[in-house]
C-alpha cells in the first residue's frame, strides 16, 4: 500500500508543477517555484517541508552531516527543483546522491527553467 501512496504523491506533485508552470512559465528563480509548489501542495492538504535537513549516512550508518532537500513531501518524497535551461547529468547525480545517502526511496527532479516542464521520478533501492 505504501507504493500506491508514493505514486499518488508523485502524481499530485507532477500535476501541481504543471499548473504552476502553465501559470508562471519559465524565467523565475528556483525559490519562486519552490515557494509556489510548497504553497499549492499545502493547500491540497499535504505535509511539505521546505529546505528540510536530511541526515547523510555513510554505508556503515555513520552520520556524515546534513543536506537540505528543496521539498520533502509527507516524509516520503524528496523533490529537487531546478530553474535551468536544461537538466544536466549533474542534476540527476545530485538527486540520486541525496536519495542514497539520506536513505530515502523516491525522488522527483523538476525543472521549471525551460519552456517545457521537466519532471522525472527516480527510485533508489535501500
Q: Calculate helix-pair angle for 2-24, 30-43, nearest 10 degrees.
A: 120
State pTM to two decimals. 0.94
Asked whether residue 10 carries a pLDDT value surpassing 90, the answer given is yes
Kindly report, residue by residue over 32-80, the tens digit of the pLDDT.
Answer: 999 999 999 999 999 999 999 999 989 899 999 999 999 999 999 999 9
Model confidence band, residue 125 (pLDDT cutoffs 50, 70, 90)? confident
Please give the distance of CA 57 from its chain centroid, rounded to a whole number.
19
The CATH class that applies to domain 2-123 reads: alpha beta
* Other CB atoms within 10 Å distance of the CB of residue 41: 21
Kindly report, residue by residue over 94-119, the tens digit of the pLDDT.
Answer: 999 999 988 999 999 999 999 999 99
What pLDDT score does 101 carry?
87
Amino acid at each position: 500500500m505504501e507504493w500506491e501512496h508514493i505514486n499518488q504523491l508523485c502524481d499530485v506533485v507532477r500535476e501541481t508543477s504543471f499548473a504552476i508552470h502553465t501559470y508562471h512559465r519559465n524565467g523565475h528563480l528556483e525559490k519562486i517555484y519552490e515557494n509556489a509548489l510548497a504553497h499549492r501542495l499545502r493547500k491540497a492538504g499535504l505535509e511539505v517541508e521546505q529546505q528540510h535537513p536530511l541526515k547523510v549516512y555513510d554505508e556503515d550508518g555513520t552520520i556524515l552531516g546534513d543536506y537540505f532537500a528543496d521539498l520533502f513531501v509527507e516524509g516520503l518524497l524528496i523533490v529537487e527543483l531546478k530553474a535551468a535551461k536544461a537538466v544536466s547529468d549533474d542534476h540527476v547525480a545530485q538527486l540520486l546522491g541525496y536519495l542514497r545517502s539520506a536513505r530515502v526511496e523516491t525522488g522527483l527532479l523538476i525543472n521549471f527553467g525551460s519552456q517545457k516542464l521537466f519532471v522525472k521520478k527516480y527510485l533508489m533501492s535501500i
